[in-house]
């Protein structure tokens, strides 16, 4: 896109109000550039001699005397000391007493050029552009893409999905995928040649797909990477951490070690780990095998001992309370206030569920083999919830009312909307 306006000169031969829009041919979207010069401020000195006309503005429109501009530019001196030039094609520039210039073009482009040359522009499609005095340009496009062009020719672009692309002056480029902090590096021909990031990661891939370099994790730990993309990679450090993958990216084995413990994972996904919390001194051991089950225990007496299906026993204490499971499938959960829930399997395949507090049971229910739940509420009502979520309420008088899942879902949605509205009202500062 290129718009050029014939510039006119005033009597002192200074260009004034030139507006040129030119697109820079570069990879991806280009940042539109507007070069505007408003000339010198000699014209402002005439404002002292203006006659007051009683109109809102004192102005003396006149044709340009520049023979190279026969169509004429209208110059308007404004009461506030600014001077506006309107060019034959409709582009306009207004220079303020402090040398700030406001510009507009017939296509809808508007902007301001600060006295130091910094430009802030808005294009007709909503693109916002800034040109800084050091030569850097920045653009933000309506779709959310942002782009920076540096004086050395480096271009960085961030798209709405979070992907960042950087093109270097030599034609090489880097791509950082959404959610990642390390970028993949490509040479000008598009070959994958390594990885890098701002933490110091520097991994190179040569023309034979040999890999060598250092990866620096977000926590600052360094791992040396070696291998070949076609046969497998190894990442390791001098503290005993070693992770191996095969040519398909499958895990061959992993050992992650630090001064407090280790975590070992094999190619089948079996996990062994032992460690110690340096802050509390609590120690733990963990042994998980997808075919055999999970064994965990720690020095606080917590343990999990279940087979591959999850059947077994456990005792877990966390900030919500205590949960225990015995080998018969009895589950007991107690919170820190003494409220409890017990689930007790019965011989006929059903189970009893009991909820209470420190004073004893409050609600007792049964879940049958089909998964239907029945219980008696504290007010004496009996509730039955079928496996497909149909609910029947029988009040103490014996009146029975049933609700379908759809009716219940609508009611829940309505409740959530009401709660959300109340939350918003509180956030409004009431």
Partner 1 sequence: MNKIIPEAHKESILQALQIKASIEEKQKLSIGNIEAIGKLKDTTLEAYTDYRNLKRKFNMAMTLIDMFKD
- Which residues, numbered 22-61, are part of the site for partner 1 (CB under 8 A)? none
Select 106 or 345, whichever has its Cβ closest to partner 1.
345
Using CB under 8 A, which residues numbered 256 to 285 contact partner 1?
256-258, 260-263, 265, 273, 275-280, 282, 284
Secondary structure (3-state) at 37:
strand
- In the list 138, 150, 186, 403, the residue contacting partner 1 (rule: CB under 8 A) is 403
* Distance from C-alpha of 359 to C-alpha of 361, rounded to nearest angstrom: 7
Distance in Å, CB of 401 to partner 1, minimum = 7
Binding mask 315-334 vs partner 1 (x if CB under 8 A, - otherwise)? Answer: -xxxx---x-x---xxx-x-
Select 67 or 218, whichever has its Cβ closest to partner 1.
218
Type and span of the H or E element at 421:
helix 405-427
Distance in Å, CB of 104 to partner 1, minimum = 47
Long-range contacts of 98-104 (CB under 8 A, 24+ apart): 99/38, 99/41, 101/36, 101/38, 103/19, 103/34, 103/36
Q: Which of 243, 245, 246, 263 is nearest to 254 (CA)?
A: 243
| Most distant CA pair in the chain, distance | 108
Distance in Å, CB of 173 to partner 1, minimum = 15
Q: Which of 257, 198, 203, 256 is nearest to 225 (CA)?
A: 203
Contact at 8 Å (CB) between 263 and 253? Answer: no
Select 156 or 276, whichever has its Cβ closest to partner 1.
276
* Distance from C-alpha of 284 to C-alpha of 276, rounded to nearest angstrom: 6
* Distance from C-alpha of 30 to C-alpha of 335, rounded to nearest angstrom: 61
- In the list 114, 170, 307, 357, the residue contacting partner 1 (rule: CB under 8 A) is 307
Based on the shown chain and the rule CB under 8 A, indicate whether residue 390 belongs to the binding site for partner 1.
no
Binding mask 215-254 vs partner 1 (x if CB under 8 A, - otherwise)? Answer: x-xxx-x-x-x---x---x-x-----x-x-x--xx-x--x
Distance in Å, CB of 394 to partner 1, minimum = 11
Based on the shown chain and the rule CB under 8 A, indicate whether residue 375 belongs to the binding site for partner 1.
yes
Contact at 8 Å (CB) between 101 and 36? Answer: yes
Which range of residues in 38-46, 95-103, 106-114, 408-416 is near partner 1 by CB under 8 A?
A: 408-416
Based on the shown chain and the rule CB under 8 A, indicate whether residue 185 belongs to the binding site for partner 1.
no
Length in residues, the chain: 430
Distance in Å, CB of 338 to partner 1, minimum = 17
Based on the shown chain and the rule CB under 8 A, indicate whether residue 343 belongs to the binding site for partner 1.
yes
Select 133 or 260, whichever has its Cβ closest to partner 1.
260
Q: How many CB atoms lie within 10 A of CB 94?
A: 20
Binding mask 81-110 vs partner 1 (x if CB under 8 A, - otherwise)? Answer: ------------------------------
Backbone φ, ψ for residue 45 (5° rounding): -65, -25
Distances (CA, A) of 134 to 111, 115, 138, 184: 19, 14, 12, 29
Select 161 or 260, whichever has its Cβ closest to partner 1.
260
Which range of residues in 64-72, 90-98, 118-126, 399-407 is near partner 1 by CB under 8 A?
A: 399-407
Which range of residues in 41-49, 60-68, 151-159, 303-311 is near partner 1 by CB under 8 A?
A: 303-311
Distance in Å, CB of 191 to partner 1, minimum = 14
Give the sign of the dihedral formed by CA 226, CA 229, CA 231, CA 232: positive
Which range of residues in 37-45, 49-57, 105-113, 359-367 is near partner 1 by CB under 8 A?
A: 359-367
- In the list 73, 86, 109, 182, the residue contacting partner 1 (rule: CB under 8 A) is 182
Burial of 244 by CB count in 10 Å (0-12 exposed, 13-18 middle, 19+ buried)?
Answer: middle
Using CB under 8 A, which residues numbered 104 to 143 contact partner 1?
none
- In the list 9, 272, 383, 390, the residue contacting partner 1 (rule: CB under 8 A) is 383
Based on the shown chain and the rule CB under 8 A, indicate whether residue 165 belongs to the binding site for partner 1.
no
Burial of 41 by CB count in 10 Å (0-12 exposed, 13-18 middle, 19+ buried)?
Answer: middle
């Amino acid at each position: 896109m290129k718009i050029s306006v014939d510039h006119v000169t005033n009597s002192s031969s200074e260009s004034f109000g030139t507006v040129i829009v030119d697109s820079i041919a570069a990879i991806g979207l280009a940042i539109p550039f507007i070069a505007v010069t408003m000339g010198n401020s000699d014209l402002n000195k005439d404002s002292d001699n203006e006659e007051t006309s009683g109109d809102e503005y004192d102005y003396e429109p006149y044709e340009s005397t520049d023979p190279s501009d026969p169509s004429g530019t209208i110059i308007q001196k404004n009461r506030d000391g600014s001077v506006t030039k309107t060019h034959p094609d409709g582009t306009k520039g207004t220079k303020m007493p402090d040398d700030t210039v406001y510009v507009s073009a017939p296509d809808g482009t508007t902007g301001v050029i600060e006295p130091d040359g910094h430009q802030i522009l808005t294009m007709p499609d909503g693109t916002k552009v800034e040109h800084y005095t050091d030569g850097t340009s920045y653009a933000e496009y309506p779709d959310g893409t942002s782009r920076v062009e540096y004086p050395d020719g480096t271009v960085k672009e961030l798209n709405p999905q979070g992907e960042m692309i950087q093109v270097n002056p030599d034609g090489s480029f880097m791509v950082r995928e959404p959610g990642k902090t390390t970028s993949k590096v490509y040479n000008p021909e598009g070959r994958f040649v390594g990885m890098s990031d701002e933490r110091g990661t520097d991994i190179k891939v040569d023309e034979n797909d040999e890999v060598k370099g250092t990866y620096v994790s977000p926590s600052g730990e360094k791992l040396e990477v070696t291998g070949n993309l076609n046969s497998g990679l190894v990442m390791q450090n001098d503290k005993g951490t070693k992770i191996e993958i095969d040519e398909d990216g499958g895990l061959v084995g992993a050992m992650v070690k630090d001064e407090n413990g280790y975590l070992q994972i094999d190619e089948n996904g079996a996990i062994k780990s032992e460690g110690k919390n340096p802050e509390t001194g609590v120690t733990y051991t963990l042994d998980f095998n997808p075919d055999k089950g999970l064994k965990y225990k720690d020095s606080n007496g917590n343990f999990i001992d279940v087979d591959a299906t999850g059947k077994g026993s456990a005792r877990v204490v966390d900030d919500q309370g205590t949960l225990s499971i015995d080998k018969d499938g009895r589950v007991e959960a107690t919170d820190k206030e003494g409220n409890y829930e017990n689930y007790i399997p019965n011989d006929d395949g059903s189970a009893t569920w009991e909820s209470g507090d420190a004073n004893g049971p409050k609600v007792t229910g049964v879940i049958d083999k089909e998964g239907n739940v029945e219980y008696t509420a504290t007010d004496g009502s009996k509730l039955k919830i079928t496996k497909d979520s149909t609910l029947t309420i029988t009040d103490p008088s014996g009146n029975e009312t049933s609700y379908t899942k759809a009716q219940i879902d609508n009611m829940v949605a309505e409740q959530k909307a009401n709660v959300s509205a109340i939350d918003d009202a509180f956030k409004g500062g009431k």
